[in-house]
A and B are shown apart, each in its own frame.
Chain A
Amino acid sequence: MPVLLHSLVLAGMLLALAGQAAVEQARLDQLVNQAAAFESGTTRESLRELERLVQTALADRSTQAQMEDALIHLAGASSTYEAKRFACQQLGIIGTAKALPRLRELLAIEETAGIACLALGAYPPGPADEVLRDAWPAATGRARLQIINAWGDRRDPRALRLLSRAAREDDAAVAEAATASIGKLGDVRAWKELTAMAKHPRPEMAAVLLEARLRCAGQLVLNGERKRAATAYESLQSPDLPLAARRAAFAGWLAADPDKASQRILNILAGRDETLKPVAIANLPARPDFAVLRQLAERLPQLAPPLQVMLLEKLGSGETPEAFTIIQGGLSLPAAEPRLAAIAALARTSGERAIPPLVRALDAEPNAVEATAIETALTQLPAGSAIDAALAEHLQTAHQNARARLITVLAQRQREAANPLLVAQLNSGNTDAVKAALRALAKSGGATEAPALLAFLAGAASPDLQREAEGAAGAVLERGESKEARAELILRQLNSAAPDAMRRLLPLLSISGAPKALARAEQALRDPDPETREVALRTLVDWPNATAWDVLARVCSQPDSESQRQIAFRALGRLAGESAASQAGLVHQTELLALARNANDRKLALAALSGATDPAALKLAVPLLADEAVRAEAAIAVKKIAEAVQAKDPQAAQSALRALEPQK
């Protein structure tokens, strides 16, 4: 059965079942009986259905007890191991105290202790812990390890006595597991027990005992037993301990005793032992006091670059003036990574004080990575007029490189509100700043900025700036409210433009597409200057709608040159293709074919024709099958048109398709 269909059938069954106050008992019994025989290699349908019923029971509590009974039954002796495993997994989700006797039975058997703990492990503290403790005396083999581990994972304080005994057994696996679990209990009694064990350690247990002590101390901190935890960690400060343990114990010690942490950190940073320095920095308090910060500022240049980065990151947003000064100092460190860390830290500051050092860093001509980082940092400073005003002020005095970046920053921060400032930058005479302003205006400029952009384009001296200005003006015009309004803006500028400026402005007319714009482009086609005529033609070639058809057709039939004719013909081909499915389409197709002068033209016309959906188009295409030079293109067009008109005019379509068949 396909998966989807199967799901639907199953869903239907489930809906039927869920619709009742309780699951139909006979059906449930049947499912449980089927599931009880489950073994790998057989169908999982009954398991899936039971899973779904458990899911339903979670939404409809009235059936939960019934489902639990079914699962308890399924976990019984008559079921296969795999069925029991499934039942335990489900009881882990919905099992209550009612299922505990069954789980206790399973816990007593080595083979099923694991799956019993799978369920018991999900139970809340209380009776489930009693079951685990009660099962201990009779447990054997792996079941013992399973229970020991569960005690630790569940942090059952009442298991400590049993664990202590187990930790002293000769069986190394049991002793290790029990020692580790004592550590997980993580209370004062457990720590005392571990301390006692450490006084007379078994050599083979040294590693697990250290593990347990570290873990117990960590849990004491989480439990709020800070004094105890500090004492615990202090006892683990021996230089004889493995390196990782020393680091962990030092970090724990600092966390457990925050009052003394700062001094301990400074002592480490002043010392020669490099091992604990990273740990010291990582554990600096969130707001170190003045004395600590002063000492940190002194130490910063002496630290290795990775430690400098750590320290700068740790100082975060530099909330105090002292912390801020350290971060600022980071901008002039010799290594690149700490400098980037200082930039990132300044980005997190909450005020405009971050601006001067960042702008100074920009002025110093940083590499591209750092410049982008500074730009991002300035952009991410909190929104607000004070910060924006400060940025605008710096814009006036910033060096060339920094100015362009600042313009981008302001544009991203303020969006449309930055437009007046951006427009002002167009007259700054700074090429990079102008380009940045143009790019920003392309994103945020509107009708208000359009005249300034058009004027700038008209007067732009370098091709580089002309390209940028044309892009920006085009983007702004495209957002204009109507094609007529766009035309007005361009025409106003064109009216006063010198010839070279006119040539830069003309292409924008195609963005409008309005009749007035078309008339102006057509007028330019008659300009005495050949360069202007060529720009006018290229403008018409890009025209966004078929209103340019007649003008282009005239150029095509009475061209100044063959290249002008070809350009106009291609534009007509595009327009004919775009209107292929419309009513005007067939008229255009017919005219296009009439204007075709050679095989290349006919191929282009056929490409446009192939999008036609009018059966009459076949009358244009089929005769061209006889033209050897364009037969292949004609065949494609005929096939496409025939397929498109098949429903509308099957006879014409079939007849055309027959024309494609090879002649016998």
Chain B
Amino acid sequence: MAAALPAIAPGRALGLAGSVPPNDRIVFGVIGFGNRAQQIVPNFLGLPQVQIAAVSDCRADRLSNGKRVVDNRYGNADCQTYPDFRELLARQDIDAVLIATGNRWHALGSMYAARAGKDIYCEKPVSLTIHEGRRLVRACREFGIIYQAGTQRRGTSSYKFAREMVRAGRIGKLRKVEMQVWTGPAIPIAKPAPVPEGWDYDTWLGQAPWIPFIPARVNAWQYFWDTAEGILTDMGCHYTDQMQWVLGADDTGPVEFEATGELPDPARFCSDTPVRAEARCRYANGVEGVMYQRGAFKDRYIRYFGDEGWIQVDDETDVVTAEPKSILDEKTSGGVGWGDASDHVRDLLRSIRSRRQTSCNPEVAHRAITICQAWNLSLRLGRKLKWDPISERFDSEEANRMLYREPRAPWRA
């Protein structure tokens, strides 16, 4: 707990022209100030109804960088820093947190925040395992927390338009949803190294089983089962979120999963998640979802196939294409792309005030990532899996045993 807390600065001092009275602002703390935070935090700093009062990171370099970014925006030196996020959560003047850590901390950190009564904006993917996601949903409900997952695209004009067109029947009856993420890297085998000064590596690892510090691994944590689950989940959840949204399946999910993939050569690489994959799922109404992990980063897309046409959103460019092309006549120009998350953030702020559910509330986000996690389990077990979206159980006992991983103490769900 910080010994002395800064007073809330008046709006004028924050360069906000006093437009939002200080007591009406929602005070945020940022947990995790790495690459993603650099991109997402400006979306919060740009809103007059938000004040970021503190940052936390278990890396000293990132902690000081976070303070610099926030203080530069406000023109003061008030942003407090906490190597241990639990101290940030203990501050009573902080209403909400922005969690932009590595994936292994997303759900667990959110649950710590929920227990501390903080509303939450958390980057995706929202959990490491399916049951961790369900626990997150329960925690938010049990502790009365408003939560927004950082999948962003539900506030994006192109994706909203595609959904509207599919739901209005412009491509006929929806048959298939095709999605594509990119070919994953393989991380070469490297020797352990001393933990750099200023790192709390134990906290960095969090719930993941202990493993020696290896710079290449630490910098590419997305590609290891223990700390993340590869690109299918890391990026795939953006598109499964869209699929669920368009299908109106936010509180349920597919009933069947099958995935195959190519893993890195274990003689040369230490990463263990697929470099390429093909994953399929089927909903009870017969709609099929297919995700390809292939191609280049810029080739990401989601395409909806109906029996009378198709519509596609290119994720890199935000360009919408369709057949018949007349569908596009209905698209108004303008609107924001997914890179501008301010609409998504405003949705959270509205919900914090009204206590309405956000567009990407825990249930929605959990159901979207469940699809990707089920694909990973199918891939790891080498078999097709049937899934009951109500009981959230597979038809395979082994798969059910992989629904959850007991976190490494002292961390608890």
**Majority secondary structure of chain B interface residues (helix, strand, loop or mixed):** loop
Task: Among A248, A307, A379, point to the contact of B141 (Cβ < 8 A).
Answer: A248
Flag if A4 contacts B210 (CB, 8 Å): no
Flag if B270 contacts A55 (CB, 8 Å): no
Inside 8 A of B267's CB, which chain A residues have their CB?
Answer: 1, 6, 43-45
Q: Mark B18-54, 1 if CB is under 8 A from A, else 0.
A: 0000000000000000000000000000000000000
A279-B355, A372-B164 known; A146+B398 contact, CB < 8 A:
no
Flag if B356 contacts A177 (CB, 8 Å): no
Inside 8 A of A545's CB, which chain B residues have their CB?
Answer: none
Q: How long is the Cα–Cα vector from A14 to B380 in the complex, in angstroms?
A: 15
Inside 8 A of B401's CB, which chain A residues have their CB?
Answer: 92-93, 122-123
A608 close to B (CB within 8 Å): no
Inside 8 A of A557's CB, which chain B residues have their CB?
Answer: none
A3-B264, A40-B270, A380-B167 known; A114+B210 contact, CB < 8 A:
yes
A41-B191, A149-B407 known; A92+B354 contact, CB < 8 A:
no
Inside 8 A of B138's CB, which chain A residues have their CB?
Answer: 218
Closest chain B CB from A346 CB (angstroms): 15
Task: Among B142, B353, B413, point to the contact of A153 (Cβ < 8 A).
Answer: B413
Flag if A146 contacts B211 (CB, 8 Å): no
Stretch at the interface among A68-76, A239-247, A455-463, A646-654: A239-247
Q: How long is the Cα–Cα vector from A211 to B89 in the complex, in angstroms?
A: 14
Flag if B192 contacts A40 (CB, 8 Å): yes
Most buried by A among B116, B141, B332, B408: B408
Flag if A122 contacts B402 (CB, 8 Å): yes
Inside 8 A of A279's CB, which chain B residues have their CB?
Answer: 144, 355
Inside 8 A of A310's CB, which chain B residues have their CB?
Answer: 354, 356
Flag if A278 contacts B356 (CB, 8 Å): yes
Inside 8 A of B354's CB, which chain A residues have their CB?
Answer: 278, 304, 306-307, 310
Inside 8 A of B191's CB, which chain A residues have their CB?
Answer: 40-41
Most buried by A among B189, B209, B404, B405: B209
Inside 8 A of A43's CB, which chain B residues have their CB?
Answer: 189, 266-267
Flag if A48 contacts B353 (CB, 8 Å): no
Task: Among B164, B167, B192, B383, point to the contact of A41 (Cβ < 8 A).
Answer: B192
Q: How long is the Cα–Cα vector from A376 to B191 in the complex, in angstroms?
A: 59
In the complex, the chain A residue whose C-beta lies closest to that of B191 is A41
Q: Which of B374-411 contact A (CB under 8 A)?
A: 380-383, 398, 401-402, 404-410
Inside 8 A of A2's CB, which chain B residues have their CB?
Answer: 265
Inside 8 A of B324's CB, which chain A residues have their CB?
Answer: 443
Q: Which of A115-172 contact B (CB under 8 A)?
A: 115, 117-118, 120-123, 142-143, 145-146, 149-150, 152-153
Q: How long is the Cα–Cα vector from A114 to B350 in the complex, in angstroms?
A: 41
Flag if B209 contacts A118 (CB, 8 Å): yes
Flag if B168 contacts A55 (CB, 8 Å): no
Inside 8 A of B263's CB, which chain A residues have their CB?
Answer: 7, 48
Q: How long is the Cα–Cα vector from A145 to B381 in the complex, in angstroms?
A: 31
A118-B209, A278-B356, A443-B326 known; A58+B164 contact, CB < 8 A:
no
Flag if A47 contacts B189 (CB, 8 Å): no
Q: Mark A510-543, 1 if CB is under 8 A from B, else 0.
A: 0000000000000000000000000000000000
A207-B116, A376-B167, A376-B168 known; A247+B409 contact, CB < 8 A:
no
Q: How long is the Cα–Cα vector from A180 to B272 in the complex, in angstroms?
A: 34
Q: Which of A34-55 contact B (CB under 8 A)?
A: 39-45, 47-48, 55
Q: How long is the Cα–Cα vector from A123 to B267 in the complex, in angstroms?
A: 32
Most buried by A among B115, B356, B398, B406: B406
Flag if B356 contacts A41 (CB, 8 Å): no
Q: How long is the Cα–Cα vector from A329 to B120 in the complex, in angstroms?
A: 34
Q: Which of B173-191 contact A (CB under 8 A)?
A: 186, 189-191
Q: Mark B250-274, 1 if CB is under 8 A from A, else 0.
A: 0000000000001111110110100
Flag if B272 contacts A41 (CB, 8 Å): no
Closest chain B CB from A420 CB (angstroms): 20
Q: Mark A448-460, 1 if CB is under 8 A from B, else 0.
A: 0000000000000
Q: Which of A238-264 contact B (CB under 8 A)?
A: 242-249, 251-252
In the complex, the chain B residue whose C-beta lies closest to that of A279 is B355
A113 close to B (CB within 8 Å): yes
Closest chain A CB from B250 CB (angstroms): 13
In the complex, the chain A residue whose C-beta lies closest to that of B115 is A211
Inside 8 A of B410's CB, which chain A residues have their CB?
Answer: 142, 145, 173, 177
Interface size class of B (residues with CB under 8 A): 35 or more
Flag if A44 contacts B402 (CB, 8 Å): no
A85-B209, A85-B211 known; A244+B266 contact, CB < 8 A:
no
Inside 8 A of B145's CB, which chain A residues have their CB?
Answer: 244, 248
A488 close to B (CB within 8 Å): no
A375 close to B (CB within 8 Å): yes
Inside 8 A of A635's CB, which chain B residues have their CB?
Answer: none
Inside 8 A of B124's CB, which chain A residues have their CB?
Answer: none
Closest chain B CB from A354 CB (angstroms): 16
Q: How long is the Cα–Cα vector from A55 to B398 in the complex, in angstroms?
A: 10
A442 close to B (CB within 8 Å): yes
A7-B262, A45-B267 known; A245+B117 contact, CB < 8 A:
yes
Inside 8 A of A282's CB, which chain B residues have their CB?
Answer: 355-357
Flag if B214 contacts A40 (CB, 8 Å): yes
Flag if B169 contacts A379 (CB, 8 Å): yes
Flag if A246 contacts B262 (CB, 8 Å): no
A114-B209, A218-B142 known; A177+B164 contact, CB < 8 A:
no
B12 close to A (CB within 8 Å): no
Inside 8 A of B117's CB, which chain A residues have their CB?
Answer: 242-245
Inside 8 A of A249's CB, which chain B residues have their CB?
Answer: 144
Closest chain B CB from A64 CB (angstroms): 10
Flag if B168 contacts A379 (CB, 8 Å): yes
A115-B209, A282-B355 known; A412+B409 contact, CB < 8 A:
no
A58-B383, A82-B211 known; A118+B355 contact, CB < 8 A:
no
Flag if A48 contacts B406 (CB, 8 Å): no
Q: Which of B133-173 contact A (CB under 8 A)?
A: 138, 141-145, 164, 167-170
Q: How long is the Cα–Cα vector from A39 to B355 in the complex, in angstroms?
A: 50
A40-B191, A247-B144 known; A113+B409 contact, CB < 8 A:
yes
Closest chain A CB from B321 CB (angstroms): 18
A439 close to B (CB within 8 Å): yes
Q: Mark B282-316, 1 if CB is under 8 A from A, else 0.
A: 00000000000000000000000000100000000
B198 close to A (CB within 8 Å): no
In the complex, the chain A residue whose C-beta lies closest to that of B272 is A44
Q: How long is the Cα–Cα vector from A307 to B409 in the complex, in angstroms?
A: 42
B412 close to A (CB within 8 Å): yes
Closest chain B CB from A478 CB (angstroms): 12
Q: How long is the Cα–Cα vector from A173 to B190 in the complex, in angstroms?
A: 36
Inside 8 A of A380's CB, which chain B residues have their CB?
Answer: 167-168
Inside 8 A of A247's CB, which chain B residues have their CB?
Answer: 144, 355
A406 close to B (CB within 8 Å): no
A94 close to B (CB within 8 Å): yes
B15 close to A (CB within 8 Å): no
B339 close to A (CB within 8 Å): no
Closest chain A CB from B244 CB (angstroms): 18
Q: How long is the Cα–Cα vector from A579 to B404 in the complex, in angstroms?
A: 63
Flag if B266 contacts A45 (CB, 8 Å): yes
Q: How long is the Cα–Cα vector from A38 to B131 in the complex, in angstroms?
A: 30
In the complex, the chain B residue whose C-beta lies closest to that of A144 is B409
A3-B264, A376-B168 known; A142+B409 contact, CB < 8 A:
yes
Seed contacts A149-B412, A173-B410, A306-B353; 11 additional CB < 8 Å A-B pairs: A3-B264, A55-B380, A82-B211, A92-B402, A149-B406, A211-B115, A218-B141, A282-B357, A306-B354, A375-B168, A380-B168
28 contacts between A and B (CB under 8 A): A3-B262, A4-B262, A7-B262, A40-B270, A42-B189, A85-B209, A89-B209, A92-B405, A114-B409, A118-B405, A121-B405, A121-B406, A142-B410, A146-B408, A153-B406, A153-B412, A211-B115, A214-B143, A218-B141, A244-B118, A244-B145, A245-B117, A279-B355, A304-B354, A306-B354, A307-B354, A309-B356, A372-B330
- Give the 6 A-B CB pairs with smallest separation, nearest first: A121-B406, A278-B355, A248-B144, A306-B354, A247-B144, A244-B117
